């Protein structure tokens, strides 16, 4: 599988020093190679924070591959990076509660670097539209509006639509929107 890239201006939404490409799909070996190239660039730019985060990404991909005992699929690579983001969001929450804003800021910077290697996340409005469409489709197939007891089926339908669209969304946000749609 080849890489599908889209040129974006260097230093735009991803921040200064960010790669000027957007990853749509690639296999794990290509992702590791891209992260390695970005790490060399960060080292040459004397950017220790970015270099450290890129090293963490490479380590996470390698560890996941070792656990599996075979190369990762693109979905597994994305899952590994998504779990890294989730860990950092949990850390941000804890650091904020513990009155450690400098550590929370470091975690935010790491999330920004990690997100460069993931497909674009849906915004709130796009996610709400996707959830409503999935619930409407589920209503048509069931013959009645799904209830809270059928939340699992609704979540499965939303996740399938997210995967088909090649986008991602925070699981907690998806769950909240599905609960709201089923309740209202």
pLDDT digits (tens, 9 = 90+) for 127-179: 889 888 988 998 888 888 888 888 888 899 888 888 888 788 888 888 888 89
Supply the pLDDT for residue 6: 41
How many helices (H) and strands (E) the chain has is answered by 7, 2
pLDDT of 167: 81
Q: Is the dihedral of CA 89, 92, 96, 101 positive or negative?
A: negative
pLDDT in tens, 15-73: 444 444 444 456 657 888 899 999 999 999 999 999 999 999 999 999 999 999 998 88
Structure tokens, 104: 């929370």
Give me the pLDDT at residue 11, please: 43
Domain spans in the chain, listed from the N-terminal domain onward = 4-115, 124-183
Fold assignment, 4-115? Hypothetical Protein Yqey; Chain: A; domain1 (1.10.1510)
What's the predicted TM-score (pTM) here?
A: 0.69
Residues with Cβ within 8 Å of residue 25, at least 6 apart in sequence: 1, 3, 4, 74, 119, 166
**1-20 pLDDT per residue, tens:** 444 444 344 443 444 444 44
- What local confidence, expressed as pLDDT, does residue 96 receive? 96
Q: How confident is the model at residue 123 (pLDDT cuts 50, 70, 90)?
A: confident
Fold of 124-183: Arc Repressor Mutant, subunit A (1.10.10)
The confidence score (pLDDT) of residue 28 equals: 56
Q: Which residue has the higher pLDDT, 104 or 163?
A: 104
Question: What is the per-residue pLDDT for 49?
Answer: 95
User: What is d(CA 28, CA 47) in angstroms, rounded to the nearest whole number?
Assistant: 25
Mean pLDDT to the nearest integer, 113-123: 87
d(CA 112, CA 101): 17
Pairwise pLDDT comparison (151 vs 99), residue with the higher score: 99
- What pLDDT shows up at residue 3? 43
């Amino acid at each position: 599988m080849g890489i599908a890239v889209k040129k974006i201006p260097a230093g735009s939404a991803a921040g200064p020093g960010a790669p000027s490409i957007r990853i749509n799909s690639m296999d794990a070996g290509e992702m590791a190679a891209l992260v390695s190239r970005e790490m060399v660039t960060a080292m040459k730019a004397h950017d220790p924070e970015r270099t450290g985060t890129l090293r963490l990404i490479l380590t996470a991909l390698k560890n996941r591959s070792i656990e599996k005992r075979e190369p990762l699929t693109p979905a597994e690579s994305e899952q590994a990076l998504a779990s890294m983001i989730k860990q950092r969001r949990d850390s941000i929450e804890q650091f904020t509660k513990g009155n450690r804003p400098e550590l929370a800021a470091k975690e935010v910077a790491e999330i920004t670097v990690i997100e460069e290697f993931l497909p674009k996340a849906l915004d709130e409005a796009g996610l709400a539209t996707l959830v409503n469409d999935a619930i409407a489709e589920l209503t048509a197939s069931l013959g009645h509006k799904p209830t809270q007891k059928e939340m699992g089926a609704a979540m499965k339908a939303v996740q399938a639509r997210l995967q088909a669209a090649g986008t991602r969304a925070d699981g907690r946000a998806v769950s909240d929107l599905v609960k709201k749609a089923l309740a209202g």
